[in-house]
Amino acid sequence: MQGVLISELVINNSFSSSSRRAKRRQKKLAKVVKRPGEAIIKGHRSYDLMLSLQLGIRYTVGKITPIQRREVRASDFGPRASFWMNFPKEGSQLTPSHQSVDFKWKDYCPMVFRNLREMFKIDAADYMMSICGNDALRELSSPGKSGSVFFLSQDDRFMIKTLRKSEVQFLHEFILEPVIASFEAYLYKQSAKEP
């Protein structure tokens, strides 16, 4: 990733007094650019949710990344490709201890999302550092009626949106099921072509 120069301040007394306007503009540019969203710190209403998201994503990506890459199959979609994991505060044999409250994590179609990240050339380590690193996420205000929460990574690369159960059902029914049906038809055609 390349750095971006936000402002530059030249210290040189040989400029004439006619450059005062330019100096004022430079001072304005030197101010820190305000970033969208509210930083989530301990005590914030979304602090536990943020920690749970970060821990769940770290667990999911860390678990799926070492598995050998393969093409996505029809079985990688749908409710059977989802997994639940309990994250007790004190930890378990499979999960680390953490500072958040006890929570359940549902991992939807991990192989599909892994392949999507690879398809878009998103490195798993960069993805985890961006979302789950030492920096907190920022919460964006949501004017919608759904009550969903939007989170933004500190480097502005990734956005996370929480979904209500009804929204998840809608996605499954009207988006995933037709995609799965099309994918299965494609696999059937491909297998019919092979000798």
What's the pLDDT at 102?
A: 92
What's the pLDDT at 124?
A: 92
What's the pLDDT at 25?
A: 57
Residue type, 31: K
Read off φ and ψ for residue 155, nearest 5 degrees.
-90, 5
**Cross-strand bridge partners of residue 160:** 151
Nearest to 38 by CA among 146, 130, 135, 141: 141
Which pTM value belongs to this model?
A: 0.69
Q: Which pLDDT tens digits describe the chain residue by residue (195 residues)?
A: 445 444 444 444 444 445 666 556 555 544 445 677 888 888 888 899 999 999 999 999 998 888 888 888 878 877 788 889 999 999 899 888 888 899 999 988 888 889 888 888 999 999 999 999 888 899 987 766 777 889 999 999 999 988 888 888 887 777 777 777 777 777 677 777 766
What's the pLDDT at 59?
A: 92
Residues with Cβ within 8 Å of 158's Cβ and at least 6 positions away in sequence, in order, are 127, 130, 131, 152
Total residue count of the chain as it appears in this document: 195
Q: What is the spatial distance between Cα 123 and Cα 114, in angstroms, rounded to a whole number? A: 10
CA angle 100, 172, 184 (to 5 degrees): 125
Residues with Cβ within 8 Å of 35's Cβ and at least 6 positions away in sequence, in order, are 138, 156
What's the pLDDT at 171?
A: 78
